[in-house]
Amino acid sequence: MDPSILSSLQNLQLTKEEEEAIPISVSHCPGLLEECSLSLFGRLLADWQQNQRALKNTLRSAWKMGSDMRIVEVGNNILQFKFSSKFQMEWVERCGPWCFDNNLLLLCRWKKGLTSTNISFTHSPFWVQIWGLPFEHMSLDVGKEIGSKLGTFLEVDRRSWQSDQAKFMRVRVELEIDKPLRRGAYIVSSEEERLWLTFKYERLPTVCFICGKLGHDKKHCPAARDW
């Protein structure tokens, strides 16, 4: 429907019948609740329409789940991924971020009351490499402290400093997609010495090198006109 028509309809006053709430007396179906609890909802972080069929086929191939997973289009370019087990769902979450055509796939879990119109994608998990950290600070507590400043801390990869090549520390964090990616940060030691750390993001999708945000390149950046 034309956007102008939709806008006009939304401005109409509700009739008396429209204002009356419709009570739902049917209790929740256990099978349907279980199906929802094993679902992830996803949308590509892109400014243009993507080939949904190609996206589905690519994800089926990457996740290697075949008919064990159903993919349903629920509106507003959002897909519902229905898994057959909690293990499958958590594996997809744990092994992300996932991309299609270099566009980030945003994911979130189901919760009661969720619809295609009120669902909100605000964060995405990333592994971040921390370069330049002094050897005496290669610890779980320091990784957690730095990771919590980047976003919502998830975990530290102990192998990143316990292997034969300990060039950096890896931390996994939930990053806000509306914020610019941080290129690095200063840390201050107990001796009040300032030291610069460099952050490198693994499996990074399309990112703008003007505003530092995900989801578009410098050609489509709203801030490009200021350059």
Model pLDDT, residue 220? 80
User: 161 pLDDT exceeds 80?
Assistant: no
Model pLDDT, residue 123? 94
Query: In which band, very low, low, confident or very high, does the pLDDT at 185 lie, cut at 50, 70 and 90?
Result: very high
More confident residue, 226 or 116: 116
Query: In which band, very low, low, confident or very high, does the pLDDT at 21 lie, cut at 50, 70 and 90?
Result: confident
User: 9 pLDDT exceeds 70?
Assistant: no
Query: In which band, very low, low, confident or very high, does the pLDDT at 35 lie, cut at 50, 70 and 90?
Result: confident
Write out pLDDT tens, residues 88-133: 999 999 999 999 999 999 999 998 888 889 999 999 999 999 999 9
Model pLDDT, residue 31? 66
Mean pLDDT for all residues in the chain: 86
User: 225 pLDDT exceeds 70?
Assistant: no
What structural domains and CATH numbers belong to the chain?
A: 29-109 (3.30.70.330), 123-226 (no CATH)
Q: Beta partners for 127?
A: 172
User: 226 pLDDT exceeds 60?
Assistant: no
Which residues lie below 8 Å from residue 158, measured CB to CB, with a gap of 6+?
140
Write out pLDDT tens, residues 43-66: 999 877 778 889 999 999 999 988
Give rounded-to-5 percent helix, strand, coil for the chain: 30, 30, 40
Got the DSSP string for 102-149?
TEEEEEEE--TT--TTT----EEEEEEEEES--GGG-SHHHHHHHHHH
Q: With a threshold of 0.85, does the pTM exceed it?
A: no
